[in-house]
Structure 1
């Protein structure tokens, strides 16, 4: 595996650990300053690292003594010399301080990465969930 492939594969591992540790700085290191996020929840778009930092800080702060375990399934990567796209089904599971699983949900997530100064950074992230025709509610589990 080349250094570029290692760095790209490492993005998901670092994301998983940053969420588990509620590490805002670790999370922000994954993203480019000009990140654009199409998140599943509440806001149409988040433009720039400052806007995305606010979302991550709020998310991690809202967890209190809970942690969130992240699992990536069906990961697919397409890579060129300076651009990569990684898609996956991402499962988020909230766990209480005593280890009890509280809730779980899945999103379809696609991340676009660019190589800048020999480092890969996420420049675009898009998460989604399909919507049922019958009641217009999001389907949060495959």
Structure 2
């Protein structure tokens, strides 16, 4: 029995979706950002609550984040890895991100990591689970935002 390890067409579709989504985040196009999430999404974001259940909850969080950081900031995906088979896909990446500078200086940026699980249905690919995090120092409890890949 031969098992297909990766569906290259589905992988390309997901890469395009991730690219379009990341540009929407950079532009703060909230409607295009939210368009990729399933109604039943469960998200573990690095900011705020322990978890967000459902699109309405996560949409409110996205809107609050955009209000907190108005204007185009830094949002660059690196080392994007995608796998897909059938109607399920998985991706992870590192992201260099930060709010826009308000005084003309260099923006304060950090590195984070993210992973997402996608399911393909009648509406196309949608994120059903997303997880954002940053490593921390176990002894000090401080988040290590200054690490480099």
After TM superposition, is the score higher than 0.5?
Answer: yes
Alpha carbon RMSD of aligned pairs, Å?
Answer: 2.0
Runs of 4+ with deviation above 3 angstroms: 96-100
The alignment's TM-score, normalised by the length of structure 1, stands at 0.89
Q: Does 1:30 align with 2:36?
A: yes
8 A Cα contact 2:39 2:55, kept in partner: yes
Whole-Å Cα distance in 2 between the matches of residues 113 and 101 of structure 1?
Answer: 35
Q: Which one has a bigger Cα radius of gyration? A: 2
Matching residue within 12, 24, 27 for 1:21: 27
Whole-Å Cα distance in 1 between the matches of residues 16 and 127 of structure 2?
Answer: 12
Unaligned runs of 5+ in 2: 1-6
Unaligned runs of 5+ in 1: none
- Which residue of structure 1 lines up, in the alignment, with residue 145 of structure 2? 140
Equivalent pairs counted in the alignment come to: 141
Matches within 5 A, 1:1-142: 3-64=9-70, 66-96=71-101, 100-117=105-122, 119-142=124-147
Structure 2 CA distance for partners of 1:12 and 1:89, relative to 1, 3 Å:
same
Structure with more strand by fraction: 1
Whole-Å Cα distance in 2 between the matches of residues 35 and 136 of structure 1?
Answer: 29
